[in-house]
Structure 1
Amino acid sequence: MRSYGSYIAGSDFPSESWVYTVKAAAFLDDFMSNLKLKRELERGFRDDGHALPAVAARCALTSDAHLQEVLVRAREAAPVWGTFPIETRLRLGERVHQEVLRRRAEFVEVLVAEGHPRRLAEWEIAGVLQGTSPEALALSHRQLHEECRIGPRTLTLVRKPDGVVVLSPPQNAAASNSILGVPALVAGNTLVVKAPRSSPYGVMFAWREIIAPILDELGAPPGTLGLVCGTPNKILTQWLESPLVDDIFFFGGSERGIQLGVDAVTRGKKPVLELAGNDGCVVWRDADLDSAAEALTESFFGSGQICMVPKYAVAHPDIADELLARLTGLVAKIRPGYPDDPDVLLSPVMRADEYFTHLNEATAAGATVVTGGHRMEIDGTVSETGPFISPTVLRVDGLADARELAVVREETFFPLLPVVVPAVDHDGLLDEVIAFLNANRYGLRNSLWTGDPDVIDAVATRVHNGGLLKVNDSHIGFVPRLSTHGGTGLTGGPFGELNYPLLRTSHLQGISVATGVQPRTAVFDSAASREVPR
């Protein structure tokens, strides 16, 4: 059993109160017994967690005094770390890449213990590696500093750190998402990360065992990194009220996140919001249907409990039947199982009641269940109480009224994919589909399958919804240079866009260094001295 205290200014602080991580596989074998074990350990009724194979880790709950202390030490370190050379801070990204690569297998096992299916854990680590790749860091260098010489002046555009950044990752993929804090450090900020009380293990492993030693190696001052765990609302409230905090980097639901953004701005803080997604995928009449169907199965990865998987599709009426047939065949191969099984992509569903509410509303309105629609046990047998839900495909006929259905209109967090089929093809159908995408209140990412360059150009030019558009590609696969997160609307709030945390947690400053300039001349003659074009 690994044990993590709160990490403050380079020291680990244990606690009288701990959160224990019992391996997900143990819960699947015997939920009630292992829930009882977890509660007894956390309530102090037993202290033998270190001797139990089912217990993977424990993380200290941070005291009120230490919650304050970690911010004080971050504020003290901020002006020191912020003046470290850009090359040193970029070295942090390089070393994180190297160490995650070296310890990739170990990192995957940590995520599997938390309940991430092995293949998805490997995908998450691939995202961390892509975000710290040489291509990503080269882009970061250009974003941080640009210099040129014009006449008697050296002109510089440089991004300066905001100061103290606090980060609250999501519960469902906390560790990998929390590593988006690395670019905030590269930007010169100090950082406090809150490990979710429900899933702290991966976050503490990544930051305490991989990233904190690298910061020590680089000579970062104590306080550059802090790690805490505790009650979310209490910690977020403290962050909002504290004058020591500059930016709040928050992952979570849209309703809570948008209000948090308003509260942050009201208090003079910058919100960086990663909220819900309701991603669309359009399959046009000339699409490669085998590849498009394969991409749509990504909707069911993690049982749909990932914000960036496709949440709905729009299928051209000429190919809808064939696409659904191919999709159904692929969906039949997706099965439940233990998270360490490399062939398993489904996870237990936390919101089964919401699944059936959405399903029943849609079918009552005329949607057709193509496949799925029931709960399952771990071996795939149909069950009224199973922890898994069968991957479900709905056919929704008609584009105009589709968003009246909650399953199309809202983000869902279960394996339910509505495929919207417009009634007929006509000259204005592409315009209607583009308008449909843009009408989405969320805006994480969209994808398109077509071989027609004119369709690609129309969608790329006119779809303003979303932080990322992918064409003829995996919906969730990572690509060089383009960020993995960020979006518009209810996904990112009023400041939402493709999220480069290095940019979002820094501010642009211009610097002019002149030689031999006469002030009066610079004021009155600089513009007049330029040649007027004829």
Structure 2
Amino acid sequence: MIQISDLNRQYIGGEWRDGQSGNMLADLNPYTHKTITSFRKATPDDVDQAYKSALEAKKKWDRVGPYEKRAIFEKAVAYIEEHTEAIVYLIMEELGGTRLKAAFEIDLVINMIKEAAGFPLKMEGKILPSPVDGKENRLYRIPVGVVGVISPFNFPFFLSVKSVAPALGAGNGVVLKPHEETPICGGTLIAKIFEEAGLPKGLLNVVVTDIGEIGDSFVEHPIPRIISFTGSTKVGSHIGQLAVKHFKKPLLELGGNSALIVLEDADLEYAVNAAAFSRFTHQGQICMSANRILVQKEVYPQFLKLFCEKVSAFKTGDPMDPETIIGPVINERQAEHLRKAIEKGIAEGAVPLIKGEIKENLVEPTILTDVQPDMSIAQEELFGPVVCVMPFQTEEEAIKIANDTTFGLSGAVHTGNVERGVEIAKQIESGMIHVNDTTINDESHVAFGGEKQSGLGRLNGEWSLEEFTTLKWISVQHQKRVFPY
């Protein structure tokens, strides 16, 4: 049985222990505001010990055979499946996710671990020819060494595992720093799962702390060769620059401002359902969420009517209630940010068709119309249950509006003509875009990542294997080479 009381400590060097700081980190339920548990924060010295442990344990991991490694990942999946209900409860309790959201996240985690389970069997090399007589060129794919992972609060279980599992599967040691709002689902729960699965002690370490305690030491430490960060573009920019300064590779999955385009020949009821899912899943706290819904003028009034009817029926409240669609946002700071964003949008000329109430962390849905592309409400990542619905006349106008953003993560196009949708999708400046689907898609074997300020690098499947490994050229001269002098 998974107990919160077993998950409220650091996991360093294969041991569960308190951090060395005198400061405590309170883990709060975002709906009830009650303290779930508390952690004694990790210090820079704890971070140092975690990285050294990962580096040392990697030497043992190198000697574990690929089939034995795969079996550990399979045991991790079995442990999750056996404890699914307990994990659902943790997701509802710690981050205000609904039961539907929790099930969705757990399924993503299972698929990602299953994908990573195959990595030990894919560490392939090549033998390449040479212009030098008697030379054999061998190219080996090897682990980078140690990976530092910094994960966010919105899908912490999955977005931690998204980097942790592939990095381990590719043969690396890992140090994970979960977001301070979700230290269990994003951190110590994962340590527990892999501990129970039989992962060598010290290979995966979890440090629970905040920037006020450790500063930039997590990124600047000399041991990690890759820093994988998922979070805001502002923080990601700082981490990316810091990583490059210290000759580390940054992998950045950052913010988004996705557009969902509805053409006049689309199935409107289906498009409405896709738009609602794209915006309001987990209160809109997903980087791929549709911030802007662009609807061709011929069907704009009908779409608005259907969309408002659907969204008006959403229940906002306790995430433990199976009828709840909209639970709490992560904290009152985010709720206040959304309040200000809505008020600023209205002051700039946006018209609210639905204007939900905001009380503490609960933010009811808001639908804004008469939004111009240059308004702040259309340019910013909202990260909440607030959406802009904007009309357009031609395909060219829709493409222009969709691309009028510094972000480029996801998107969707709805049309009765699939190839028409594909041609439009090709012109959208984003790493991912989906025809007749939601903007929220993540499949463990398909390349995932953004363009522009939405990130650097690609994860999932063979792309994660590529990111978390490096290539080493070893040449063998089988016969004496003739030198010019």
| TM band (smaller chain) | 0.7 to 0.9
Give the counterpart letter for 1:192 in structure 2.
V
Give the counterpart letter for 1:194 in structure 2.
K
Partner of 2:427: 462
Give 5+ residue unaligned stretches, structure 2.
Answer: none
SS at the partner of 1:359? helix
2:165 counterpart (164, 182, 185):
182
TM-score, length basis structure 1: 0.79
Give the counterpart letter for 1:132 in structure 2.
I
Partner of 1:288: 267
1:277 is the counterpart of 2:262: no
SS at the partner of 2:407? coil
> 2 CA distance for matches of 1:214 and 1:153?
44
2:410 counterpart (424, 445, 449):
445
TM-score, length basis structure 2: 0.86
SS at the partner of 1:171? coil
Deviation at 1:199, TM superposition (A): 2.1
Partner of 1:71: 51
2:349 counterpart (366, 373, 376):
366
Deviation at 1:509, TM superposition (A): 4.0
1:19 is the counterpart of 2:22: no
Deviation at 1:328, TM superposition (A): 1.0
> 1 CA distance for matches of 2:396 and 2:473?
42
Partner of 1:209: 192
Partner of 1:408: 378
Give the counterpart letter for 1:442 in structure 2.
F
> 2 CA distance for matches of 1:264 and 1:120?
33
Deviation at 1:408, TM superposition (A): 1.2
SS at the partner of 2:341? helix
Which 10-residue stretch deviates more, 72-81 or 142-151? Answer: 142-151
1:169 is the counterpart of 2:175: no
Equivalent residue runs for 1:77-476 within 5 Å: 77-82=57-62, 84-114=64-94, 115-133=96-114, 140=119, 144-145=123-124, 158-180=140-162, 181-216=164-199, 220=200, 222-235=201-214, 237-298=216-277, 299-349=279-329, 350=332, 351-371=334-354, 373-376=355-358, 385=359, 387-396=361-370, 402-422=372-392, 424=393, 429-463=394-428, 465-476=429-440
In structure 2, do the counterparts of structure 1 residues 148 and 85 end up closer, same or farther at CA, with 3 Å as the change threshold?
farther
1:2 is the counterpart of 2:8: no
In structure 2, do the counterparts of structure 1 residues 454 and 88 end up closer, same or farther at CA, with 3 Å as the change threshold?
same
Contact kept, 8 Å, 1:488 with 1:496, in 2: the verdict is: no
In structure 2, do the counterparts of structure 1 residues 64 and 497 end up closer, same or farther at CA, with 3 Å as the change threshold?
closer
> 2 CA distance for matches of 1:511 and 1:286?
58
1:488 is the counterpart of 2:445: no
Deviation at 1:266, TM superposition (A): 1.0
Contact kept, 8 Å, 1:77 with 1:224, in 2: the verdict is: yes
Contact kept, 8 Å, 2:292 with 2:390, in 1: the verdict is: yes
> 2 CA distance for matches of 1:24 and 1:353?
14
> 1 CA distance for matches of 2:415 and 2:195?
45
Which 10-residue stretch deviates more, 125-134 or 284-293? Answer: 125-134
SS at the partner of 1:311? strand
> 2 CA distance for matches of 1:388 and 1:486?
30
In structure 2, do the counterparts of structure 1 residues 127 and 154 end up closer, same or farther at CA, with 3 Å as the change threshold?
farther
> 1 CA distance for matches of 2:268 and 2:475?
55
Give the counterpart letter for 2:439 in structure 1.
H
Q: Deviations over 1:46-81 (max 9, x none)?
A: xxxxxxxxx4x4433224432221122222223442
In structure 2, do the counterparts of structure 1 residues 440 and 517 end up closer, same or farther at CA, with 3 Å as the change threshold?
farther
Q: Deviations over 1:92-129 (max 9, x none)?
A: 43333222222211111111111222211111111112
Contact kept, 8 Å, 1:143 with 1:503, in 2: the verdict is: no
> 1 CA distance for matches of 2:104 and 2:375?
31
Give the counterpart letter for 1:11 in structure 2.
E
Deviation at 1:367, TM superposition (A): 2.6
> 2 CA distance for matches of 1:190 and 1:111?
26
Give the counterpart letter for 1:467 in structure 2.
G
Give the counterpart letter for 2:236 in structure 1.
G
Give the counterpart letter for 2:161 in structure 1.
I
> 2 CA distance for matches of 1:511 and 1:323?
61
In structure 2, do the counterparts of structure 1 residues 259 and 22 end up closer, same or farther at CA, with 3 Å as the change threshold?
closer
Contact kept, 8 Å, 1:8 with 1:226, in 2: the verdict is: yes
> 1 CA distance for matches of 2:62 and 2:415?
46
Give the counterpart letter for 1:129 in structure 2.
I
In structure 2, do the counterparts of structure 1 residues 98 and 236 end up closer, same or farther at CA, with 3 Å as the change threshold?
farther
> 2 CA distance for matches of 1:187 and 1:227?
19
Partner of 1:381: none
> 2 CA distance for matches of 1:288 and 1:112?
34
Deviation at 1:442, TM superposition (A): 1.1
Deviation at 1:302, TM superposition (A): 2.4
RMSD value over aligned CA atoms? 3.0
Partner of 1:503: 466
Q: Deviations over 1:402-431 (max 9, x none)?
A: 331111111112211101211x3xxxx323
In structure 2, do the counterparts of structure 1 residues 12 and 498 end up closer, same or farther at CA, with 3 Å as the change threshold?
closer
Deviation at 1:354, TM superposition (A): 2.7
SS at the partner of 1:357? helix
In structure 2, do the counterparts of structure 1 residues 159 and 462 end up closer, same or farther at CA, with 3 Å as the change threshold?
farther
Give 5+ residue unaligned stretches, structure 1.
Answer: 39-54, 377-384, 524-534
Larger Rg: 1
Q: Deviations over 1:319-340 (max 9, x none)?
A: 1111111111110121112111
> 2 CA distance for matches of 1:166 and 1:198?
19
SS at the partner of 2:298? coil
> 1 CA distance for matches of 2:293 and 2:125?
42
Contact kept, 8 Å, 1:159 with 1:187, in 2: the verdict is: no
